[in-house]
Amino acid sequence: MEPRGRLLSDRYELQALLASGGMGRVWRARDTVLQRPVAVKVLRSEFTGDAAFLRRFRAEAQHTALLTHPNIASVFDYGELDEDGERLAYLVMELVEGESLATLLARERRLDVPTTLGIVRSCAAALAAAHAAGVVHRDVKPGNVLLGGDGVVKITDFGIAWSASSVPLTQTGQVIGTAHYLSPEQAQGAKAGAASDVYALGAVAYECLAGRRAFDGESSVQIAVMQIRDEPDPLPADLPESVRRLVRRAMAKDPAERFPNGAALLAAVDDVIAGRPGAAPAAARTAVMPLPPAGITGATTSVASRARATPRRTAVRVLLGALAALMVHATVLALSWGSRQVPADGATSEETAEPGISVVAEDYLDRPVAEVQAELIGRGLRVELVPAETADVLAGQVTGIDPVGEVAPGGVVTVTYAVPPVVVPPPVVVPPPVEQPVERGQDEQRDDDGDPDEDSGKDGNGRGNGDGGNGRGNGDERDDDDDD
């Protein structure tokens, strides 16, 4: 297709094949103009004739180029060209020196809790930035998580991402993504959202901690059915309960019961790392899952056990479930009624129903702005970013937070961050020429038209050196064609 050593657009020299996927191949390459190593993703030639695939590939360049975050692999360039009778489309990206999480898991099988939480935290921070920009990745998986040799984790391949505010590029019902990390709503052909990325990252975390995938089967269809209707086996009992609870909520079947976006997941991971209890998950809702359609093998254990249950046992379970639901409903009503009572100080329920969010400036100053933005959004606040020119603080670090103290949920917090000052060079002042006075009676060399001869060598102000009159050289002068 694109052999080693080929030069794309007279600039990018393909050197070694790094990876091959469903849409194309990724090459290690060299930018011959900027003299730096890069990664070049070349779309498969059999797809370049398909307008839908080509639009999707262009969208990867457009969407990812808008995302600037330490945990997102940067996009440098995009191009399309015709060479040797074939249509090529390519994407030039930041080259991450290291390995993918898929390679690490193939070698180590299971990762410890600190390593897993570090990887999940970095990925959640990247997704928080993408979701804030309205971009959904839609294909989070170990192969798209790159582990740099410097310890930095980066998400790559937004090739099937699309802006949540734009018209989808795929046809309705078309399933895109890897089945092992596909959210239930994607498996059903529904529109993917930020919570879909949360589910996929939860499945990645499960695989890191358990040493196996949450669901596996003989075909993608079978795995997709399991994503919709089955629950994964419990994580190993030797893991902290807070970690298992984090993964369970991230992989909830109902998107409304998951962390809603990358920012919320990032905040939850920080809570686990810091040993804080974190936010309580949404109230569980009773759902009746349909039986698997005929002809599909690999029905889940939970569905099979329900099918074997006797009608009487099923009726008892339904009755107990209904009683439990009634008790929860009654408790909620009691709490709700209590919250409506007027306190002794005369405050109304509206004034006491929703406590403010504490914002402490010291918690955010001198931190990366993208990280602070994601954390504040995850806490339920809106963020307005304001750049401030300064040479005293590293670029991108937060320099100010306003307001501080108790902020109402959904309130706007202004985050000021440092940007390098723009150095404006002083204007170059060119002094006006000084005219020398001419004394009367001075013997001047003149041309035929009466003007002073510009080539005169008198007093050394001609093109010669003064001694040579109006000649160009005396042996020390350069020839006409000699460059300075």
Domains of the chain with CATH codes:
7-93 (3.30.200.20), 98-278 (1.10.510.10), 381-419 (no CATH)
Q: Crossing angle for the helix pair 194-210 and 101-108, nearest 10 degrees? A: 30
pLDDT at 330 over 90: no
Strand order in the sheet with 24-31: 7-8, 12-20, 24-31, 36-43, 86-93, 75-83
The tokens for 86 are 């074939």
Residues 1 and 87 sit within 8 Å (Cβ to Cβ): no
Instruction: Decide which of 457 and 415 is more confident.
Output: 415
Q: How confident is the model at residue 307 (pLDDT cuts 50, 70, 90)?
A: very low
Beta strands 357-359 and 398-402, pairing class: unpaired
Nearest to 101 by CA among 78, 81, 118: 118
Residues 131 and 197 sit within 8 Å (Cβ to Cβ): yes
Instruction: Decide which of 478 and 58 is more confident.
Output: 58
Peptide bond into 232 cis (omega under 30): no
Cβ contacts of 258 within 8 Å, gap of 6 or more: 195, 198, 199, 202, 249, 250, 251, 252
Kindly report the pTM of this predicted structure.
0.58
Give me the catalytic one of 77, 82, 139, 447: 139
- Average pLDDT over the chain reads 74
Maximum C-alpha span of the chain = 133
How high is the pLDDT of residue 463?
46
Cα–Cα distance list, 232 to 92, 140, 226, 252, 322 (Å): 38, 18, 9, 10, 25
Give the percent of the chain with pLDDT over 70.
Answer: 65
How high is the pLDDT of residue 409?
85
Residues 417 and 373 sit within 8 Å (Cβ to Cβ): no
DSSP-derived 3-state class of residue 210: helix
Q: How confident is the model at residue 177 (pLDDT cuts 50, 70, 90)?
A: low
Question: Is 479 annotated as catalytic?
Answer: no
Give the percent of the chain with pLDDT over 90.
Answer: 39
The pLDDT of 358-376, averaged and rounded, is 85
Residues 469 and 475 sit within 8 Å (Cβ to Cβ): no
